[in-house]
Chains A and B, each alone.
Chain A
């Protein structure tokens, strides 16, 4: 009896401690890398730079929150980067004209169309994964290519710039479009930070405070048990894949607004950091584990690295190396600590 109690207490603590350890480790890693950058450039911890940093991680964060739900279900969505680009291009081509289409429509319809396209791709991903039963890796890989191809065909691989377009869109539309992603909230906070905070709140509630999030954890943790318990597996997959695609479209449109122009294949390199942020944040690709706060920290760590390395003048190519190292390192560390914790727990029970 004594040993049983010890085992129980041990396991209980272990579950909690590991989560806290991971969060603490991530925060520590973010602060440490910040300190290193600060010691080299002294401008890292300026409020101006921190706001820039937050802005730069907004699209990554927004996409990563939704991706976390997909991964929580035990699936993966590789098409987000392509949807990001396709959505921005759809808005540009429909609104500004040019590209492969002979007409153009008001901005509001263009935005609507972009989100409809995203919803359609998300639904198709879910259909292929849950009805046709193709692994999501393959289905979304297919849509990565499909979306990229559509984007290039639609835009004739040209760059769009609303402010210098002929014909020039109405001033109201230009203003509205600029407000979406390029304006500033009070205290000089970029509006994209506001979007990030809003999505953080939305996804935190979805994941941690609703029946939806509760059942996602169950379905991802044990699909067979979920089937036996008659949970709505298929419907949830649709919702999650559509959310992922819509968030990718939102991120693409916000970045288009912020940058002021969109060129061919703009989101092509985003899928890796999005998945890396989720995994660094402690989610398991096997499903059943993943939190919004972890994902936020994962995205923050990647953003800090990108920002700091840019301040140091390290080129974009070398930054890729760092992101690769950090991703592998974080997951390896997580695995090693988990194994150590397991080993210690089993020793206690003996």
Chain B
């Protein structure tokens, strides 16, 4: 019997309070579900629970003993969405690494470790290189490593977001087994159906605290969904539909029966008109993010896509500009603010015909971008790294807008950005669209989709499940509940389809494993 207690856990990162007094108890013998909207502190809680991060204040007790982060790491293991294992080693060697039985000789797998492999159902492929194994097997290897280290607490972080349904079922069955044999098991997932089906208790984390705990007959998908969106009392700005008369204009983007080559989405058909902002919404693994990336040319896809070039008064013009969710992937930290802002521009604007750089034009262009998009900086010749995260984000978006694309693609436009900058960024995108261009944004948060978009496409299991118009909703609360219901509930409806769609190319090894 193991008992993990979290008392008054607090953790700040710079200006954000990730954990604001979390009290939580985890018991062996049950599966605890942890749910929460993005940015609520879930992942921080997981890192703290696994000893990857130490607390600012508060304590974590395991069996009544207060433990430091370093010691927690020995007792608690995390099973990640992307397993942290060695693909260059065999299944058996993966278990041995770090637990070698010898100091000088060639280490070999011990009988105990072999027993764990048997228990977990992958002993027959012990000599197979992990690079040849499926994600499900890799995940099991990670679990096996936790058992080898005798971890008593196992945290599953979105463990099945990339697994097929059969693999998921096998995983959940194993989680129940672990709970039954005295381990503490916790599950973090976006999928409400799974929380209801497999967990004895579900806590909802909101704003860095445990907002509620649901058990017994109170534990339903609707109840969780309502808790997830509660508290989003942002002032719903009075919005008229800035966008109208869709049918009269020719669309900027038109896709028809468009599929991802790797199966992340299937038969997507939609149009985007000039001046329109479309938000694509979906949980991780739904295919929403991939749709935006594929439009940006960052993923291989097939099917029909037509992007119309909108004539514009500017001289330079590109068709599509893409912004990834990770700021690090879009900005140049070795360059100044000005250089970042003009980094996507070329010959007519910042250099002459012969490639001679026009330093003065760069400064002028950058200064006008900085003013137009209210980037807060002490001067465009500063290094980019001197800006705050929100202002760096504005620079990244402004740099893409500077090349004046007909279609602007943004993944999570305000990730890791403070509230003030968020509003600025929404306004930037709105003004950009109002210039007769189209914007497609992948959003993970309901308030963002509500404030930003004219139209919200809800993606589930690689298909467009429904389309919402934020203008049809009286307030953000009702919009968020409607969205959560579409996004999260009844995922199982299309499940048989998904395994056909997302089924990873199975080798014989994987099949054996599943059987």
Rounded to whole angstroms, the CA-CA distance of A5 and B329 in the bound complex is 26
Q: Which residues of A contact B324 (CB under 8 A)?
A: 224, 228
Chain B 394-411 residues near chain A, CB threshold 8 A: 399-400
**Interface 1/0 per residue, B328-347 and A, CB below 8 Å:** 11111111000100011011
Contact (A228, B329) CB under 8 Å given A8-B378, A288-B334: yes
Partner of A210 from B332, B351, B378, B388 at Cβ < 8 Å: B351
User: Which of B30-38, B251-259, B379-387 has 4 or more CB atoms under 8 Å from chain A?
Assistant: B379-387
Rounded to whole angstroms, the CA-CA distance of A338 and B333 in the bound complex is 16
User: Which of A128-136, A144-152, A215-223, A313-321 has 4 or more CB atoms under 8 Å from chain B?
Assistant: A215-223
Interface pair B331/A225, CB less than 8 Å apart? yes
How many Å from the CB of B384 to the closest CB on chain A? 10
Contact (A230, B332) CB under 8 Å given A4-B388, A210-B355: no
Chain B 29-72 residues near chain A, CB threshold 8 A: none
Interface pair A211/B347, CB less than 8 Å apart? yes
B104 an interface residue at 8 Å Cβ cutoff?
no
Rounded to whole angstroms, the CA-CA distance of A222 and B388 in the bound complex is 19
B318 an interface residue at 8 Å Cβ cutoff?
yes
A-B CB proximity, top 5 nearest: A211-B351, A221-B334, A288-B334, A11-B386, A221-B332
Contact (A229, B343) CB under 8 Å given A217-B332, A218-B332, A221-B333: yes
Q: Which residues of A contact B387 (CB under 8 A)?
A: 8
Contact (A222, B333) CB under 8 Å given A12-B382, A210-B351, A229-B343: yes
Chain A 180-231 residues near chain B, CB threshold 8 A: 209-215, 217-218, 220-222, 224-225, 228-231
Contact (A218, B378) CB under 8 Å given A11-B385, A210-B351: no
A258 an interface residue at 8 Å Cβ cutoff?
no
Contact (A288, B332) CB under 8 Å given A209-B357, A211-B357, A228-B323: yes
B298 an interface residue at 8 Å Cβ cutoff?
yes
Contact (A229, B399) CB under 8 Å given A217-B332, A221-B333: yes
Closest residue of chain B to A15 (Cβ to Cβ) is B383
| Extra inter-chain contacts (4) besides given A8-B377, A225-B332, A228-B330, CB under 8 Å | A214-B351, A215-B343, A221-B332, A231-B344
Q: Which residues of B contact A334 (CB under 8 A)?
A: none
B322 an interface residue at 8 Å Cβ cutoff?
yes
Rounded to whole angstroms, the CA-CA distance of A288 and B296 in the bound complex is 25
Q: Which residues of A contact B331 (CB under 8 A)?
A: 222, 225
**Interface 1/0 per residue, A218-249 and B, CB below 8 Å:** 10111011001111000000000000000000
Rounded to whole angstroms, the CA-CA distance of A213 and B474 in the bound complex is 53
Interface pair A222/B329, CB less than 8 Å apart? yes
How many Å from the CB of A329 to the closest CB on chain B? 24
A289 an interface residue at 8 Å Cβ cutoff?
yes
6 contacts between A and B (CB under 8 A): A12-B383, A15-B385, A210-B351, A214-B350, A218-B332, A221-B332
How many Å from the CB of B395 to the closest CB on chain A? 11
Rounded to whole angstroms, the CA-CA distance of A288 and B340 in the bound complex is 13
Closest residue of chain B to A209 (Cβ to Cβ) is B357
Contact (A209, B399) CB under 8 Å given A11-B386, A217-B334, A222-B329: no
Contact (A228, B322) CB under 8 Å given A11-B385, A210-B357, A211-B355: yes
A9 an interface residue at 8 Å Cβ cutoff?
yes
Interface pair B383/A214, CB less than 8 Å apart? no
Q: Which residues of A contact B356 (CB under 8 A)?
A: 209-211
How many Å from the CB of B89 to the closest CB on chain A? 22
Rounded to whole angstroms, the CA-CA distance of A218 and B343 in the bound complex is 7
How many Å from the CB of A209 to the closest CB on chain B? 5
Closest residue of chain B to A222 (Cβ to Cβ) is B332
Closest residue of chain A to B379 (Cβ to Cβ) is A12
Closest residue of chain A to B318 (Cβ to Cβ) is A230
How many Å from the CB of B110 to the closest CB on chain A? 38
Partner of B355 from A5, A15, A212, A228 at Cβ < 8 Å: A212
Interface pair B335/A218, CB less than 8 Å apart? yes
Pick from A8, A212, A229 the residue with the most CB of B within 10 Å.
A229
Rounded to whole angstroms, the CA-CA distance of A231 and B345 in the bound complex is 9
Q: Which residues of B contact A209 (CB under 8 A)?
A: 356-357, 359
Closest residue of chain B to A219 (Cβ to Cβ) is B332
Rounded to whole angstroms, the CA-CA distance of A217 and B322 in the bound complex is 21
Rounded to whole angstroms, the CA-CA distance of A215 and B362 in the bound complex is 13
Rounded to whole angstroms, the CA-CA distance of A229 and B385 in the bound complex is 19
Q: Which residues of B contact A5 (CB under 8 A)?
A: 378
Rounded to whole angstroms, the CA-CA distance of A222 and B333 in the bound complex is 8
How many Å from the CB of A335 to the closest CB on chain B? 16
Pick from A210, A222, A288 the residue with the most CB of B within 10 Å.
A222
Q: Which residues of A contact B330 (CB under 8 A)?
A: 225, 228-229
Q: Which residues of A contact B400 (CB under 8 A)?
A: 229
Chain B 84-132 residues near chain A, CB threshold 8 A: none
Rounded to whole angstroms, the CA-CA distance of A288 and B330 in the bound complex is 15
Q: Which residues of A contact B344 (CB under 8 A)?
A: 229-231
